Amino acid sequence: MRPDVPARNPERDRASRDFPPEADLAPFGTLSSEGAPPAEAVARFRTLVREYYRRCGRSFPWRETTDPYRILVSELMLQQTQTQRVLPKYLSFVQRYPGFAELAAAPLRDVLALWQGLGYNRRAKALVESAAIVMERFGGRLPADPKLLVELPGVGPYSAAAVCAFAFGLPLPLIETNVRRVFLHFFFVGREGVRDREILPLVQATVDRDDPRSWYYGLMDFGVMLKGRVANPNARSAHYVRQPRFENSNRQIRGRLLAYLTAHERATLVDLGRELPYAAERIALSLSALAAEGLVACEAAEYRLPERSTPRLYQKRRTHYNGVPGFRKDRANQSKGTDMTRDEYIRLEGTYGTNNYKPFDVVVARAKGAWVWDTDGNRYLDCVSAYGAVNHGHSHPKIHKIFIEQAEKVSIISRAFRNDQAGPFYKELCDLTGSRRVLLMNSGAEAVETALKAVRKWGYIRKKIPEGKAEVIVCADNFHGRTIAVVGFSTVEKYKAGFGPFPDGFKVIPFGDIKALKEAITPNTVAFLAEPIQGEGGVNVPPDGYLQEARKLCTAHNVCLVLDEIQTGLGRTGKLLAEEHWGVKADVTIIGKSLGGGYVPVSAVLARGDVLDVFQPGEHGSTFGGNPLACAVGRIALKVLVEENLAANAEKMGALLTREILAMGSPLVAGIRGMGMMLGIELTPEAPPADELCGRLIAEGLLCNTVGPRVVRFTPPLVLDDEEAGWALERLAKVFKG
């Protein structure tokens, strides 16, 4: 053992096993989410933790200092890593880089080399970037302000609280694994799915405001002791995730790749495949992920560690932080490069723009993940997601990387020629969705028009319908776009008024009425066009069995079932395609919006071969449809959708949001419509209008909009996590419960 690593203290270790006696570990009881512990219980709890820390408290070098730099280094090192692994690395690190100035000037390659063995190497990069930011923005002094600390890379709300407590003596609410374990054991007996927001009031009620450092150290040490003496209480936390197996995991591959590149100047994919015992595909994927995070660089097909790390001041942050007033406000993140005010932007739109939208007066300047910021620096959780175009979250790093790479190669080429992205994209779309043919367009409305042209021509060629007699059945309250043909069969009068005459050949029936569909079919019917779940119509879910019966009718009468999955598709409802909820397969499926990954407009018509084969060269097309930039982005958007299990997350988070909103018991909420994270909050008759409630939600930091006067649309990005959902639910409760 190195001489500068503190040796273990056998007597203290033995004391930690024997103290406190079993009787003192008896829980105090179970609290409801609204409950508060009795004063006597709080006093006993404080005495027990303090006495344990006095007798058995552990000694670490980062506990012997209040240097903000060293506290920050230790906090990032300790994230998801045991203290005994951190200890020697910490000592070496602060000896090599004793302050922010030295770390900010250090080559990232050298820092990563020193970090080897700790894992989660992005933390090393985050520390280098944070040091550069502290030097640039704060003159080398770490601010004692959690609102500023969480903007540093790698620093979340609770890491910020820990730095404030241990470096600056601020009694902010702090929860980490061991602290959570203690409170769950003593105050939440038998409770499952306990959320941190239920624990936080207890943390605030018990913290020693005069000496938060010793108090939190005592709690952490007590939690370590509990781990060895009781069944793990953390398994009852809503935030509990069992650590996946490390052996042969992507984490292991990433670590091995960085270790190899640390020891070698550079390497090709062939070199790495020869030296490491993993499939080439897995190595390539891991390299791509590392490159997206800035942990490796690639030049001329050779990989190396980067020399420098460019600070990213404004990254995705989990902005939820309890107990800090006005935390959503972030002046440091205001729009740069202009002195214009919000009202001036709005005036410009009114003066030169066309009045075809009525937006809320939030002027968005930037976005990342599930969050957006306006020009005044206010932060909002985006619960509209550009109507489903941002399923992957704003500026997803993997999609962003491919977008930039492809834009630097070629973005568009005439459709008189081919490109190297279209063919692979066609195949990947067909393989993923079980389709036979693809036709790419740009907007959803273009794809709907394409599908209508295809099924009409299919009817004339395959069914021998007399020319000009083809009929398409559609549903009331539909929304398929805003072209002349589409608004012509809309049942919303404002979409149609003043735009006629409209094309013939469409029959409108009630949505969900299988009898009406059966009666509407004639020998001239070529297609039934519907949304699996109506979006703009009010988030309307069809009756049980409706789509299955519609599928049977279409098959029996040789009618194409055309499902518009522009909003519902690609994971939004908890399945890849919403049709999977009912076990049906459409003849023609229309997708778009999130197919472009939040970067470019991409839409597609997916169909049986005999439907799209009716098109001949020159009969249909689009200048931008199928361009190489759109195809490259579409390919990575599909890959991210699958690899990051976004559909499964939509199902999980949608169920959580639905359950928690209904559990509020708000007199304003009549019910929840939808599936996955395509949700509509239906209002009771006594509730204010939906647009008024949306205004209140926006004031609380939630961007929502309406679908009709009595439904609030709630459709966050599919990357939404537990903490962000909890943040949203707190704001929803504030507005809906008053």
Residue 564 a catalytic site member: yes
For residue 682, give the DSSP letter.
E
Q: Choose the catalytic residue: 125, 398, 457, 593.
A: 593
H-run or E-run covering 231: none
Give the CA distances from residue 451 to residues 441, 510, 526, in Å, rounded to whole numbers and listed in that order: 11, 21, 11
Report whether 77 contacts 86 (CB < 8 A): yes
Alpha carbon 701 to its chain centroid, in Å, reads 17
Q: What is the DSSP string of 107-147?
A: -HHHHHHHHTTS--THHHHHHHHHHHHHHHHHTT---S-HH
Report d(CA 661, CA 679) in Å as an integer. 11
Cβ neighbours around 545 below 10 Å, total: 10
Q: What is the dihedral of CA 442, 444, 450, 452, to 10 degrees?
A: 180
Report whether 391 contacts 574 (CB < 8 A): no
Q: What is the dihedral of CA 422, 426, 429, 435, to 10 degrees?
A: 160
Can you say whether the dihedral through the CA atoms of 380, 384, 387, 391 is positive or negative?
A: positive
H-run or E-run covering 675: strand 669-675
Spatial neighbors of 418 by CB under 8 A, at least 6 apart, are none
What's the token pair of residue 656? Answer: 């959580």
Tell me whether strands 379-382 and 588-591 are parallel, antiparallel or unpaired: unpaired
- Tokens 């909002």 identify what position? 380
What's the token pair of residue 55? Answer: 């007798």
Length of the chain: 738
Residue 417 a catalytic site member: no
In this structure, what are the phi and psi dihedrals at residue 464, rounded to the nearest 5 degrees?
60, 35
Residue 479 a catalytic site member: yes
What's the token pair of residue 626? Answer: 């199928």
- Tokens 């894992």 identify what position? 119
Report d(CA 156, CA 150) in Å as an integer. 5
Nearest to 529 by CA among 453, 609, 601: 453
Report whether 153 contacts 144 (CB < 8 A): no
What's the token pair of residue 205? Answer: 């009620």
Report d(CA 624, CA 656) in Å as an integer. 40
Report whether 267 contacts 305 (CB < 8 A): no
- Tokens 């891991």 identify what position? 286
- Tokens 């409108």 identify what position? 508
Q: What is the dihedral of CA 547, 553, 555, 559, to 10 degrees?
A: -100
Q: Choose the catalytic residue: 564, 624, 639, 714.
A: 564
Report d(CA 13, CA 56) in Å as an integer. 7
Q: Where are the beta strands (DSSP E) in 272-363?
A: 297-299, 302-304
Q: Choose the catalytic residue: 479, 489, 624, 714.
A: 479
In this structure, what are the phi and psi dihedrals at residue 66, rounded to the nearest 5 degrees?
-115, 15
Give the CA distances from residue 581 to residues 18, 113, 675, in Å, rounded to whole numbers and listed in that order: 55, 49, 9
The catalytic site residues sit at 479, 564, 593
